Amino acid sequence: MGIDLMEWLHLGIRWIHIITGIAWIGASFYFIWLDMNLTPPEKDGRKDKDGVGGELWAIHGGGFYEVQKYRVAPPALPDHLHWFKYEAYFTWLSGFVLLTLLYYFGAEIYLIDQNVADISTDTAILIGLGSLFGSWVIYDFLCKTPLIRHQGVFGLVLFLLLTLAAWGLSQIFSGRGAFIHVGAIIGTIMAANVMMVIMPGQRALVSAAEKGEEPDPTPGLKAKQRSLHNNYFTLPVLFIMISNHYPMTFGHEFSWLVLAAIAAVGVLVRHYFNMKNQGKAKQGFILLPISFVLFFVIAWAATPRTEDLSEGPKVPFAQVQEIIQNRCASCHAAKPSDEGFDTPPKGVKLETAAQIIREKTRIRQQSVDTDAMPLGNVTEMTEEERKMIGRWIAQGASKD
């Protein structure tokens, strides 16, 4: 299969991943909002006697809606009952296919960085897969311990464990590979929550209702708890999905800490909206300015404090062009010599002086301020070469 067809395959699967992810996250946002905004029906009224635990009126799309939630189950099940599950399944499946195509089939380019850890492709893939499924086992075990009764402490412990995972993976994989695996860990936990806890709990409720038995509320309560966990996972996962466009995050020396801090921002923002949905907007409002301040503190702290590279001997363009020819042009050429690419990544070509000068800002961001490029440093660009390119750019990036 030619690389052009593979690119179209990547595009199609990524599009599916985004579409199903939007549907899944949208459902999570809506149902958590709905659950927190239900009002009890009138006592001794018909709805109360029918077992309605909460209701909500809404207007949307030119019409009125009345939504009711039963305390356990309705007196009789409707002919058609919609199940929210395929959004989760297809989001995870499409994401796993992308992970396999890009990071496992392309492990030497995207996943392995020999400057981080000199490991084989097979070892890298086994570690990646082990991190996904091992994390679910640990999380599920924690959910079955007494710790789950203390949601704040549970959340903090889970956050610290995920941060530890981010640190550990950053010692093995490239920054990009570590980030995507933390995202895949969270996504696996979320999808497994749906498959292993939420859906079985809902099937148990439906089964009891069909048999005319009094349903056990415990499975439903566990399902609700896992749904809330998934709700808090959403914003960190969304950040990781877009992070590969921002090398100053995954390419930072302390990338795992940058990831943890930005994830914390996402959790705080999500917590504010959940408090707002419970009518506690005033109490939770302080979380928004804290989140904004934390984000800008992260941005300031993560910005490289490089030396003034403009000082020192003038760097001739010929030296820079030679470095780029040796370290970058095998991929960034009209016809790349690297067998992993048939076309230049992102359409960036670095063969002529005009092309190099035009891309100087991107070159500085990707190869001087961070070590995001070359991918996995497969061409072994040295720190001295990075500084030389940076000095040339700081001195005006001329052709002389």
Q: How far apart are CA 369 and CA 350, in angstroms?
A: 18
H-helix or E-strand spanning residue 141 = helix 121-143
Range with the poorest average pLDDT among 203-217, 336-350, 361-375: 336-350
H or E stretch including 341?
Answer: none
The pLDDT assigned to 253 comes to 86
pLDDT for residue 3 is more than 60: no
What's the pLDDT score for residue 309?
A: 66
Between 143 and 378, name the one with better pLDDT: 143
pLDDT at 279 over 80: yes
The mean per-residue pLDDT over the stretch 224-249 comes to 94
At 263, the pLDDT band (50, 70, 90 cuts) reads very high
The model's pTM: 0.87
The pLDDT, as a whole number, for residue 2 is 46
- In 5-124, DSSP assigns E strands to 52-60, 63-70
Confidence of residue 330 (pLDDT cuts 50, 70, 90): confident
What does the pLDDT look like over 160-208, one tens digit per residue? 999 999 999 999 999 999 999 999 999 999 999 999 999 999 998 888 8
- How far apart are the C-alpha atoms of 150 and 132, rounded to whole Å? 25
DSSP symbols for 276-298: HHTT-HHHHTTHHHHHHHHHHHH
Q: What is the pLDDT of residue 169?
A: 97
Locate tokens 């090398």: which residue? 247
Structure-model confidence comparison of residues 372 and 310, the more confident one: 372
Q: Find the Cα–Cα–Cα–Cα dihedral 276, 277, 280, 285, rounded to 10°.
A: -10
Of all residues in the chain, the percent with pLDDT exceeding 90 is 52
Token pair of 135, please? 């994390």
- The mean predicted confidence, pLDDT, of the chain is 89
Mean per-residue pLDDT, 28-45: 88
More confident position, 89 or 377: 89
Other CB atoms within 10 Å distance of the CB of residue 177: 26
Provide the pLDDT confidence category of residue 307 given band limits of 50, 70 and 90. low
Domain spans of the chain?
Answer: 3-33+81-302, 38-70, 317-394
Reported confidence tier of residue 306, pLDDT bands at 50, 70, 90: low
Tell me what pLDDT residue 1 has. Answer: 43
Backbone angles phi, psi at 95, to 5 degrees: -65, -40
pLDDT of residue 305: 58
Over residues 36-49, the mean pLDDT reads 82
Closest C-alpha to 143, from 227, 208, 60, 84: 227
What is the mean pLDDT of the segment spanning 305-325? 79
At 391 the three-state DSSP class reads helix
Is the predicted pLDDT of residue 311 greater than 90, yes or no? no
Q: What is the pLDDT of residue 308?
A: 62
Please tell me whether residue 48 adopts helix, strand or coil conformation: helix
CB 185, CB 193: distance < 8 Å: no
Say which residue the tokens 């089939």 belong to: 105
Q: What is the structure's pLDDT at 359? A: 87
Q: To 5 degrees, how large is the angle CA 172–CA 131–CA 8?
A: 85
pLDDT band at 344 (very low <50, low <70, confident <90, very high): confident
